[in-house]
Structure 1
Amino acid sequence: MLTDIITHNLDVIFCGINPGLKSADDGHHFSGRSNRFWKVLHQSGFTPYEVEAIHDTSILDFGYGLTTAVARATSRADELSKEEFDDSLETFKTKIHEFQPRYVAFLGKAAYKAFSKKKEILWGAQDEDFCGAKVWVLPNTSGLNRGFSLEDLVASYKEFYLAIRE
């Protein structure tokens, strides 16, 4: 089971699609060997050093939190059904209303597509808020996401980092 790392009034809550099996097993976000989240977060400016997954709760010290759209762990996000996203939406909305982050950053398009009911979503800033939070869609850092190199990921996350600092 993977526990949210979340508190009130964060700058950003990063929302993964769902936990990978390794993360769920060891209880730490983005702990899979091939996941590039912590490296990308550091290289794009969000953290002054690369946080180790075992110290994932320290992300709160920087004003960021972590959650997932769907709680069920899988080896691949495409194993989730539309119904699982639908069933998770109210819980997710309640969480965002309660904790009131400035931004929700969806990691990958799948969760935001399911939650917003939009057919097409562009990367980056979205036009509408989600439960009072601004929305940004970032590429997923999973090692299974071969469409984005480390450099591409860092560039996308850096754009977001600079935008929230304005």
Structure 2
Amino acid sequence: MSSPNPTLELQDQDVVPLQQQQQPTFQGRLKLADFMFKSTGLSASSGSPRRSPRFSLTPSVSDTPEATATPSPSLSARPSSPAKRSPPKRKAPSSPSTASSSSSSLSSPRKRTSSSSPRKRSSSSYAPPSTYAHLAPIPDAIAPNLLVFFIGLNPGIETARTGHAYAHPTNLFWRLLASSGITPRLCSPSESRQMPSLYSLGLTNIVSRPSRNGAELSRQEMDEGVGILEEKVRRHKPEVVCVVGKSIWESMWRVRHGKSIKKDEFKYGWQDETETMGLEEADGDDDDDENPEARGGREWKGARVFVATSTSGLAATLKPAEKEAIWKELGDYVVERRKERAEEAEKAAGGDVEVDGSTT
């Protein structure tokens, strides 16, 4: 190959020196300078940035001769330089699948995904007595002159199978009795029938038939059980009636007052003296006042009512600490009355006696 030559070979015999060739420019044959953008509205000395006309929808104030001659008061507060408008943002191209999903999301409200939606409990409804006809109701644990007479809702499935009250492992009844001081130790469901002789505590229910939960009971059968409870209280004359659950007291209130209890009328703990059970019919029947000596010679004036929380494992309205505080109020009363009963029995017997499992 021959060495580079500073000449351009046009033909075999004609050679033109590079100094005589036309220098390259940006003009070209089409003269591209004629197609370049030139600002016509702003002078070169104004110093304003160059802008494309498509971004300016309205003419600038400074472009009009009227504005430079006599500026109006409303426009004098505006800045001297024309406001800039940002160009619209371009959206990323969407595929047909995303386009259809976006259009559907605008037409219909957004639905929660299965992972974010809360879990719904299966709702249970009324179950007739024939559903659990194979399960027998449990007998009451009751005796005259009880210290506390507990009224539960109805036997559960596990309670009906074993024959022991509050037998389900998740039920807090026996643990609350021990932690509140109502019983001096933790008792087991198998001791439910011995509670009257052990600690002068009785057990019954407003509905006798078993069911899986309270939702399977009807309001009518709960209301019908209120009259039976009143009769049991009048016959055995306990000092205190403890209603184990808000729904039980709501049913008793509905029957006794002829209307549903209001939100501001309900309260846990001791109820008013007007709510005493068994007193109205007992006043006219003095012969039915059994064993007044066991009460230290005091006349029975009806059973005081204490409304406690439900002990079912399904009842999660209140926290465990709140339940314990309510039950502790009843426990303090029971501990004090148990001491007084022991002293009264000791005076009556003239020596050491055993009362509610403790010797004095």
1:156 to 326, 333, 338: 326
CA distance in 1, matches of 2:185, 2:319: 20
Structure 1 stretch 19-28 or stretch 146-155: which is displaced more?
A: 146-155
1:126 matched residue in structure 2: 271
Matched, 1:26 2:26: no
2:192 to 39, 50, 56: 56
Contact 1:42 1:51 in 2 (8 A): yes
Superposition pairs for residues 136-155 of structure 1, below 5 Å? 136-155=306-325
Q: Percent identity, please.
A: 31
Judged with a 3 Å threshold, the aligned counterparts in structure 2 of structure 1 residues 64 and 78 are, in CA distance, closer, same or farther, namely same
Contact 1:19 1:72 in 2 (8 A): yes
1:73 to 195, 204, 210: 210
| Structure 1, unaligned runs of 5 or more | none
Higher relative contact order (CA closer than 8 Å, sequence separation 6+): 1
CA distance in 2, matches of 1:68, 1:125: 20
1:116 matched residue in structure 2: 253
CA distance in 2, matches of 1:156, 1:57: 25
1:10 matched residue in structure 2: 146
1:37 matched residue in structure 2: 173
CA distance in 1, matches of 2:185, 2:226: 33
CA distance in 2, matches of 1:116, 1:133: 15
CA distance in 1, matches of 2:241, 2:252: 12
Q: How far 1:78 sits from its partner (Å)?
A: 2.3
Contact 2:182 2:330 in 1 (8 A): no
Could you say which structure has the larger radius of gyration? 2
Summarize deviations over 1:27-47 as a string: whole Å, max 9, x none.
Answer: 100001110100110011011
Contact 1:17 1:69 in 2 (8 A): yes
Q: How far 1:154 sits from its partner (Å)?
A: 2.0
| Structure 2, unaligned runs of 5 or more | 1-136, 255-259, 279-301, 338-360
Taking only aligned residues, the RMSD between alpha carbons, in angstroms, comes to: 1.4
What TM-score does the superposition give when structure 1 sets the normalisation length? 0.93
CA distance in 2, matches of 1:70, 1:157: 23
Q: How far 1:88 sits from its partner (Å)?
A: 1.4
**Local SS of the residue matching 1:159:** helix
Q: How far 1:21 sits from its partner (Å)?
A: 1.2
**Local SS of the residue matching 2:193:** helix
CA distance in 2, matches of 1:153, 1:86: 26
2:219 to 82, 85, 92: 82
Summarize deviations over 1:19-75 as a string: whole Å, max 9, x none.
Answer: 111101211000011101001100110111110101112322111111101112111
